[in-house]
Amino acid sequence: MLKVSQDQLANEIGVTFQQIQKYESGHNRVSASRLFDISTFLTCHISYFFEDFDSASRIEQNRTVSNGNSPTNEIKTPTDPMLKTETLEVVRAYWRLPSNDLRKSIRNLLISLSKKESN
């Protein structure tokens, strides 16, 4: 989908392509700073990598300790549509359109459709 090779990504973030393969397969964990580097290179929000987690997984993986040692299951999930993968895909597709006129037509169509839905 992103049309970025493992070599390109590896070179950009300073690791070998084998390391990228290990990240992809889950053999090696990705540190927070490395994940930030990857999201910066791919021009996406870091939350993109967590959108497919289900709530149960998040609860188990993100237990926090409050008041000394009592775990809580409170998880804050992003509700902002600007943080969703779908938004990023639409924006990228929009900017790949070959002309300004076509982009303007699509933009006007979306605005028109969204006005009809809200009525």
Task: Name which residue leads in pLDDT, 102 or 1.
Answer: 102
**pTM as predicted:** 0.47
Closest CA to 42 of 8, 84, 66: 8
pLDDT in tens, 49-100: 887 766 555 555 555 444 445 454 444 455 777 777 788 888 888 888 999 9
Rounded CA separation 10/38 (Å): 9
φ/ψ of residue 117, rounded to 5: -65, -35
25-37 burial, b if ≥16 CB within 10 A, otherwise e? eeeeebeeebbeb
What is the token pair recorded at 38?
């990857």
Whether the pLDDT of residue 17 is over 50: the answer is yes
- Residue 46 is given by DSSP the state G
What residue segments make up the domains of the chain, in order of their start? 84-119
